[in-house]
């Protein structure tokens, strides 16, 4: 009895040890197993805790310990969804703890792993993470657009930080001078602002208003621009940082002043622009200092006060040069060139025109790089989507094949059972009719069972043969092998036959004839045919049969070809021809 109690105690202790680890991470597992529309906010709870405790060393260690335990749990209990959620959490932890670069190459793999789950909401979350890894304006725009597209179909209210997605999109579009689209996405982001009061950043709201207002200003719609900048002045007062309030109030007033300048309302513009420059200097914001100086230069230029305009433009140019502000370099150089042209100072005007063109050329080069990056990002995304579709198609084929096999087995089993039951019922009926026929009926039943066993074994053997043939077919899908087989079957006795051979050969080895002709001009078609057959490693007899000539003629042709190719006695003709597809 005492021994039994001891054994039970040990088993209970082992049970508690086994379950201790999953219990410590059970909150993660419970949240990450969700598949409904509440899954994004359930996962966001853990992302929020990372951000809140990012400077707590004890919390940092605890999170990485949890990640390690979760990996061990998944080793014992594989689960695709949990694995994807864990890797997402690991990326977010690395981002908060300054280790994000370790995971730049991982996110695409996670997207591939998640694809078979066929969960658009999970994909939208992954695209949102991918938009910022690595930091790139092109990938940021592409993946944010993909994320927003999915989020819109599911409902923005089911996703945190939706306004950040729209802000990211509009910011990149503004940088590309696509102001109309920038405004459209920016307004949609503002409309979604109240959907997530927990995660919204009031400063992102200010930045979004600024981008929309600047877009309207660039589209020469001053009334709309002023509305958004006045909204900034009303909203920024709620911030807790006096410096931020002061700077953005100045920025908003300055941009309102710029709209008045464009309308020729100089009395309204003057105090706003002067305030803008003063505030920017007090806050030490060099970008806005240069913008304000160029704005004042434009203000005086429109009033034909060219000396004052030149003074502000020169100051803006100096600031922009020092801090590498290319847009303001272009603006200030253009202003100075225009001023000196009007003042008929030809040398200075020419100098600043040249300077403006240099800065514009730099901007064009950056734009070309950006366009190339956009194209590369789109290609990479298309390749990823293609891979995912192929992977899903493969999975679907496997499922269909497995289901077909299962259905076939089930149908055969039913048929066998029906036949068996029918036979058994008939035997039982006969048994009731006459006891004297019992022995023979029993033998018939036994014989029937033997035949069923043989039939079943035969079915198993046939299925094994089908599987083996299927594997062989799957392993033999080689385009080059197929084309080579076609070549070997093609008779090469006429010009039409040679053309068919040449076309098939070119599909298999596209560089061969190209390099042969490039290296050795003046080769006859006959020499090209011979070279191709040598490349296929045919012996003289096979070449003679293919070309309809004697083996001696083949040997003579090979000697002539060696002479044309200028091969030494130590060099192998076959080896030399073989290298024609490897040298570029």
In this predicted structure, what is the pLDDT of residue 488?
Answer: 46
Per-residue pLDDT tens over the stretch 404-448: 777 778 887 888 888 888 777 777 878 777 677 766 755 544 443
CA–centroid distance for 361 within its chain? 31
Instruction: Tell me the pLDDT band of 19, cut-offs 50, 70 and 90.
Output: very low
Mean pLDDT score, 36-42: 93
Q: Which of 155, 157, 144, 228 is nearest to 194 (CA)?
A: 157
Determine the pLDDT at residue 181.
Answer: 95
Q: Which of 150-159, 249-258, 394-403, 462-471 has the lowest mean pLDDT?
A: 462-471
DSSP 300: H
Picking from 155, 161, 82, 176, the residue whose alpha carbon sits closest to that of residue 129 is 161
Q: Give pLDDT, residue 466.
A: 43
pLDDT at 584: 42
- Kindly give, in sequence order, each residue whose CB lies less than 8 Å from that of residue 336, ignoring residues fewer than 6 positions away: 310, 313, 314, 317, 348, 352
Q: Map residue 256 onto helix, strand or coil.
A: helix
Residue-wise pLDDT tens digits, 490-517: 444 567 767 777 777 777 777 888 888 8
Name the one residue in this structure whose structure tokens are 């807790």. Answer: 240
Q: Is the pLDDT of residue 44 over 80?
A: yes
pLDDT of residue 199: 85
Q: Which residues touch 561 (CB under 8 Å, ≥6 apart)? A: 527, 530, 531, 573
How distant, in Å, are the alpha carbons of 222, 278, 303, 511 from that of 266? 14, 18, 8, 70
pTM score? 0.62
In the numeric block, which tokens belong to residue 393?
Answer: 């198609």
CA-to-CA dists, residue 152 to 48, 121, 420, angstroms? 23, 10, 58
Which residues, at least 6 apart from 119, have a Cβ–Cβ distance to it below 8 Å?
Answer: 35, 81
Structure confidence by residue, pLDDT tens digits, 238-247: 999 999 999 9
Classify 354 as helix, strand or coil. Answer: helix
pLDDT, tens digit (0-9, with 9 covering 90-100), for 183-238: 999 999 999 998 888 888 899 999 999 999 999 999 999 999 999 999 999 999 99
Rounded Cα–Cα distance for residues 162 and 193 (Å) = 8
Interatomic CA distance for residues 227 and 230, integer angstroms: 5
Question: Between these two residues, 557 and 427, which has the higher pLDDT value?
Answer: 557
pLDDT value for 432: 76
CA atoms within 13 Å, Cβ hemisphere of 504 = 23
Measured CA to CA in angstroms, residue 144 lies from 161, 191, 302 at distances of 12, 17, 41
pLDDT band at 487 (very low <50, low <70, confident <90, very high): very low
Instruction: Write the pLDDT tens digit of every residue in 347-376.
Output: 888 998 998 898 888 877 766 665 545 545
**Contact by Cβ (8 Å): 173, 206:** no
Whether the CB-CB separation of 263 and 279 falls below 8 Å is answered with: no
Q: Percentage helix, strand, coil, to 5, in the chain?
A: 85, 0, 15
Whether residue 152 is predicted with pLDDT greater than 50 in this model: the reply is yes
Q: What is the mean pLDDT of residues 395-412?
A: 73
More confidently predicted of 218 and 455: 218
Helix (H, G, I), strand (E, B) or coil at 335: helix
Place of tokens 């600024």: 210
- 3-class DSSP state of 493: coil
The answer, yes or no, to whether residue 40 has pLDDT greater than 90, is yes
- 566 and 511 Cβ atoms separated by less than 8 Å: no
Calpha distance 323→285 (Å, rounded): 11
Give the largest Cα separation in the chain, rounded.
Answer: 134
End-to-end CA distance of the chain: 84
Mean pLDDT of 143-153: 93
List, in sequence order, the alpha helices (H) in 179-241.
179-191, 202-218, 222-236
d(CA 583, CA 580): 6
pLDDT digits (tens, 9 = 90+) for 299-339: 999 999 999 999 999 999 999 999 999 889 899 999 999 99
| Bigger pLDDT: 144 vs 409 | 144
- Average pLDDT in the chain: 80
């Amino acid at each position: 009895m005492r021994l039994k109690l001891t054994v039970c105690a040990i088993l209970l202790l082992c049970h508690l040890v086994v379950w201790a680890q999953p219990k410590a991470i059970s909150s993660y597992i419970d949240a990450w197993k969700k598949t409904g529309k509440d899954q994004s906010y359930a996962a966001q709870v853990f992302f929020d805790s990372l951000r809140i405790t990012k400077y707590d060393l004890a919390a940092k260690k605890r999170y990485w310990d949890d990640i390690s335990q979760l990996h061990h749990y998944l080793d014992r209990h594989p689960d695709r969804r949990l694995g994807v959620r864990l890797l997402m959490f690991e990326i977010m932890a690395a981002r908060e703890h300054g280790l994000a670069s370790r995971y730049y190459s991982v996110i695409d793999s996670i997207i591939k792993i998640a694809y078979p789950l066929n969960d658009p909401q999970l994909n939208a979350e992954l695209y949102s993470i991918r938009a910022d890894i690595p930091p790139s304006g092109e990938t940021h725009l592409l993946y944010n657009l993909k994320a927003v597209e999915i989020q819109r179909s599911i409902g923005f209210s089911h996703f945190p930080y939706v306004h950040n997605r729209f802000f990211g999109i509009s910011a990149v579009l503004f940088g590309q001078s696509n102001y109309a689209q920038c405004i459209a996405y920016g307004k949609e982001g503002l409309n979604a602002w109240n959907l997530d009061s927990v995660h919204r950043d009031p400063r992102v709201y200010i930045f979004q208003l600024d981008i929309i207002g600047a877009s309207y200003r660039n589209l020469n719609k001053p009334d709309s621009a002023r509305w958004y900048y006045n909204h900034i002045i009303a909203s920024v007062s709620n911030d807790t940082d006096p410096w931020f309030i002061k700077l953005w109030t100045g920025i908003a007033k300055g941009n309102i002043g710029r709209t008045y300048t464009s309308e020729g309302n100089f009395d309204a513009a003057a105090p706003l622009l002067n305030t803008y420059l003063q505030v920017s200097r007090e806050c030490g914001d060099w970008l806005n200092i240069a913008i304000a100086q160029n704005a004042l230069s434009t203000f005086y230029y429109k009033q034909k006060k060219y000396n004052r305009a030149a003074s502000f433009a020169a100051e803006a140019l100096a600031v922009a040069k020092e801090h590498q502000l290319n847009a303001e370099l272009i603006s200030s150089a253009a202003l100075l060139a225009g001023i000196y042209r009007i003042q008929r100072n030809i040398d200075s005007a020419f100098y600043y025109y040249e300077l403006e063109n240099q800065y514009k050329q730099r901007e064009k080069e950056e734009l070309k790089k950006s366009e190339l990056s956009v194209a590369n990002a789109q290609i990479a995304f298309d390749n990823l989507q293609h891979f995912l579709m192929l992977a899903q198609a493969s999975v679907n084929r496997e499922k269909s094949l497995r289901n077909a096999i299962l259905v076939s087995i089930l149908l055969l089993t039913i048929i066998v059972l029906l036949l068996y039951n029918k036979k058994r019922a008939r035997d039982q009926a006969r048994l009731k009719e006459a006891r004297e026929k019992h022995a023979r009926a029993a033998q018939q039943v036994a014989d029937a069972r033997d035949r069923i066993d043989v039939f079943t074994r035969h079915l198993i053997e046939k299925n094994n043969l089908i599987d083996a043939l299927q594997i062989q077919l799957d392993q033999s899908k080689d385009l080059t092998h197929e084309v080579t087989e076609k070549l070997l079957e093609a008779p090469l006795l006429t010009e039409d036959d040679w053309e068919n051979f040449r076309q098939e050969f070119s599909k298999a080895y596209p560089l061969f004839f190209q390099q042969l002709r490039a290296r050795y001009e003046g080769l006859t078609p006959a020499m090209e045919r011979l070279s191709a057959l040598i490349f296929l490693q045919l012996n003289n007899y096979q070449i003679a049969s293919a070309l309809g000539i004697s083996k001696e003629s083949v040997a003579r042709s090979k000697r002539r070809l060696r002479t044309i190719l200028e091969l030494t006695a130590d060099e192998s003709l076959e080896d030399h021809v073989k290298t024609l597809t490897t040298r570029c």
